[in-house]
Amino acid sequence: MYRYSACEYPFPHRITGDGYQNLMHPLDRFPRQYAAGAIWDEEEVEYLIELYKRNFTFDFIADMLERPIDGVRSKVRLLCKKGLLQYRGRLPKILGDRRKQYIGRNYPKFGLKYCARHLGRSVSTVEIYVKQMGL
């Protein structure tokens, strides 16, 4: 009688090891296989470098190359380490038309804090928006 009789399989007893061989036997039949990463062609690498230098996002680059985003990010990191690319950091978010109109209307009258509170952004972020707009 096994100590853990509620289990579907004979659970190995902690002292004698009864049932351990029966439990682990099926795992020996199916050895673990590791998936190999997809190999990058030279054309794909050149296209990746071109798109990255033109400041496209990783989502767009992954769609153009039909590869997963994580694979594109890791390849860019590798190319930066090799010195073929210059790391650019995060891209600034594009300012929407409605935000531009709101800031253009209210910034001269009420100032940064008012615009930041109503847009739900920090004061430093609204200040960057104001500089982008040239106000």
The pLDDT of residue 76 is: 92
Same domain (yes/no): 47, 73: yes
Q: Are residues 102 and 75 in the same domain?
A: no
Domain that holds residue 72: 42-82
Give a yes or no: residue 115 inside a domain.
Answer: yes
Mean per-residue pLDDT, 77-91? 84
Place of tokens 């439990």: 23
Q: Are residues 103 and 123 in the same domain?
A: yes
Express each pLDDT in 16-32 by its tens digit.
Answer: 555 555 555 555 555 55
Say whether both 76 and 54 belong to one domain. yes
Number of domains in the chain: 3
Percent with pLDDT over 90 in the chain? 11
Clarify whether residues 128 and 102 are in a common domain: yes
Same domain, 46 and 28: no
Q: What is the pLDDT of residue 99?
A: 82
In a domain, 37, yes or no: no
Flag whether pLDDT at 6 surpasses 60: no
Residue 92 lies in a domain: no
Residue 91 within any structural domain of the chain: no
What is the predicted pLDDT for the residue at 28?
53
Is residue 89 a part of any domain in this protein? no
pLDDT of res. 1: 45
Higher pLDDT, 19 or 66: 66
For 89-111, write each residue's pLDDT tens digit: 765 565 677 888 888 888 888 88
